[in-house]
Structure formats: C-alpha cells, structure tokens
Structure 1
Amino acid sequence: MLLSVTRFIEKDLKLIVNKDKSEVGSPTRLKFLSCLITTVNGVCRYRPTNAAKKKFINKLRQLTKRNRSGDFQQISNEINSVTRGWINYFGVGFIKKFIRRTEQWLNRRIRQLILKRWKRTRTKINRLIKLGLDKDSAKRIGFSRKKYWRLSKTPEVHRALTTKRLHQWGLTPLSHLVESAYLRY
C-alpha cells in the first residue's frame, strides 16, 4: 500500500516522500503531530499521545526544580507560557482529566519549591504566620524533619499556600485555560 502511494506522490505530484516518517494505515491507529484520533459516540476527536504528555510533564518538572534560580514571578511566567502553549495546541482534544491531575501535581510542586526557598526554620515559621497560620501550626511545619515534597501535602501548608493564593501570585489556573480552549472551538 505504501509503495503505491509513494509512487503516485513522487511520479504524478513530483514530491519527495520521506520513507522513515511516512506510514499508511487507519487514521484511528496512527499518530499525527503528536495526536491520536479516537472515535467516541460516533464523533471523531483527538487526544495527545502519551509521549506528548510525558514531554509536557518533564518540561514542567524542569521549570519547577527546587534548586533553580529566579523569583516566583519569573517562574510563574515561564510555567504560564508553557502551559498556555500546550493547552492551546491540544485543548480541543480529551485532556480535562489529565489537566486536572497535572494541575494538582503542579500546585504541590510549587508549594515544595516555595518551602525549599525558605531554607531556615525561623524563615519558614515567620512566612507561614504571615500567610495566616497560627504559631503552633507554623512551628510544626518549621521544625518538621519531613522532606519538602511530603510537607507540601500537609493541611497546614495547604491552608497557608492555598491554590487561590498561588493564582493571585501570577500562576494561571490550567482548568480555566482548558475551558477557554474548549469554548473557542
């Protein structure tokens, strides 16, 4: 099949076919531009491939490394540009569930980054008190021997560094980006 299609394209249309990248098959089984076409309830929709999802997560992981430089505004701007671009490209496909999980993971990762930047115990306690925690809860987090990833899931840290506060500091909510992408199409 591929041979006859290649012959037609090269001889009649006078185009060059890259045999390494070219495939012939059902559109529901082949990936094209990092998308897979699926049929749901008789309607064809597309979704990103697993490789595209992994690449997106790895890019976010790279942007939220605990030892990276830059202030929170700069980090959130970079995260916003990456997420906005990815969601605008894949936003019409089935990504709501993936984005919901990714948003929760990203918020926890940012909380971890913030806690890591408050290196000293006294700094952690003072900042958490400024963010609305009582003194005992702030001390529990400040004097804790748990690592940053585990601390980022504690209820005290969630009360101090709420998702709403992260959005006020400049992080764009991924769920809103997905909804706006759905509305455009």
Structure 2
Amino acid sequence: MGLGFSKREGKYNPRPHKKSLKKLKLKIKAILGRSRGISLERYQTELTTTLRGWYNYFKIGLSKTRIQTLDECTRRRIRMLYWKRWKKIKTKYEALMKLGVNRCKAWEWANTSKGYWAIARSWILSTTLTNKRLRKHGWLCLTDL
C-alpha cells in the first residue's frame, strides 16, 4: 500500500492511518477557521478541493462509517461558520426565521449564551441548517462521493 495507510500485524490494510485522519481534520479546521474573513464561495472551493483530493487518494480503504464521521465533523464546522458569520442577535433571529423557525423559538435560540462550537452541535442548527439545505447552497458532502 501507499503512504498514509495503516499497517497491522505486518500486513497493510487499505484504510487511512490515524495520522492521516488527524491531519485531514486539522486541515478542515484551518480551512473553515472562523476568523479568516473570506467569502463563503472561497470556503467552499478550498474545502471541496481538499475533500475531493483526500477522498480520491484514500477511497480504496474508506468505510461508510469513517466517511460519515468525517462528514459529520465537516458539517459541524460549516454550521459553526454560519453561526459566527451571523454575529448579532438580530441577524441570528432573522436568519433562523428565514430557515422556517417560529418567532418565539427563533428569538430564544438567537439569544442563547452557548458558544459557537456548542451551537454547531445542537439541534438548533442541525434542524435548520440541514445537510440537504447545505448541499443546496453548494457545500460538498463526503457521503455523496
């Protein structure tokens, strides 16, 4: 096998090594950094090229569960990026209203004191910024590859 694949009991297994997975997660974190201040299209382009390249290199040994785990990690970062971009309570409230949340819940969620990372994992964003909606806005989903 090639570089980045794991070796167990003297045999090569066609699956990404732990270090390769960790490097990808760090790369995703760097690309989707909250303070980069670039357009969403640029975020999408950089993320898409990275994920496609990594997937094409390691697809021989990727399992469905590993792909789903990586996809969940990426989606959470994307949701965090959106929440951070909305900044003000009023903007969050209006964005949640546009996403179909009723008035009371939108105001309650917009006023939450939780941090960006916690909100990105909560059902507030996972029910409003669904995978389907993110795909519609041009974000790549690893499970589609």
TM-score (structure 2 length as normaliser): 0.90
SS at match of 1:92: helix
Deviation at 1:169, TM superposition (A): 0.9
Tell me which residue corresponds to 1:87. 55
SS at match of 2:127: helix
Q: Of 63, 66, 71, which residue of structure 2 is paired with 1:103?
A: 71
Distance in 2, Cα, partners of 1:136 & 1:56 = 39
Distance in 2, Cα, partners of 1:156 & 1:47 = 34
Per-residue Cα deviation, 1:13-54 (whole angstroms, up to 9, x for no partner)? xxxxxxxxxxxxxxxxxx741123569xxxx75111111111
For structure 1, list consecutive stretches of 5 or more residues without a partner in the other structure: 1-30, 178-185
Q: Does 1:133 align with 2:94?
A: no
Q: Of 118, 121, 132, which residue of structure 2 is paired with 1:150?
A: 118
Runs (4 or more) in structure 1 with deviation over 6 Å come to none
For structure 2, list consecutive stretches of 5 or more residues without a partner in the other structure: none
SS at match of 1:36: strand
Distance in 1, Cα, partners of 2:42 & 2:129 = 18
User: Does the CA-based 8 Å contact 2:5-2:13 persist in structure 1?
Assistant: no
Q: Which has the higher helix share?
A: 2
Deviation at 1:159, TM superposition (A): 2.1
Distance in 2, Cα, partners of 1:169 & 1:136 = 26
Distance in 2, Cα, partners of 1:105 & 1:94 = 16
Per-residue Cα deviation, 1:57-99 (whole angstroms, up to 9, x for no partner)? 1100101111112121211111111000000000011343222
Distance in 1, Cα, partners of 2:124 & 2:15 = 37
Per-residue Cα deviation, 1:149-178 (whole angstroms, up to 9, x for no partner)? 11122223222211111111111110121x
Tell me which residue corresponds to 1:171. 139
Please show how residues 1-185 of structure 1 align to structure 2 within 5 Å.
32-36=2-6, 45-177=13-145
Per-residue Cα deviation, 1:109-137 (whole angstroms, up to 9, x for no partner)? 11111001111100000111011111111
Of structures 1 and 2, the one scoring higher in RCO (CA 8 A, sep 6+) is 2
Residue type of the alignment partner of 1:137:
K
Distance in 2, Cα, partners of 1:77 & 1:32 = 27
Over the aligned positions, Cα root-mean-square deviation in angstroms equals: 1.8
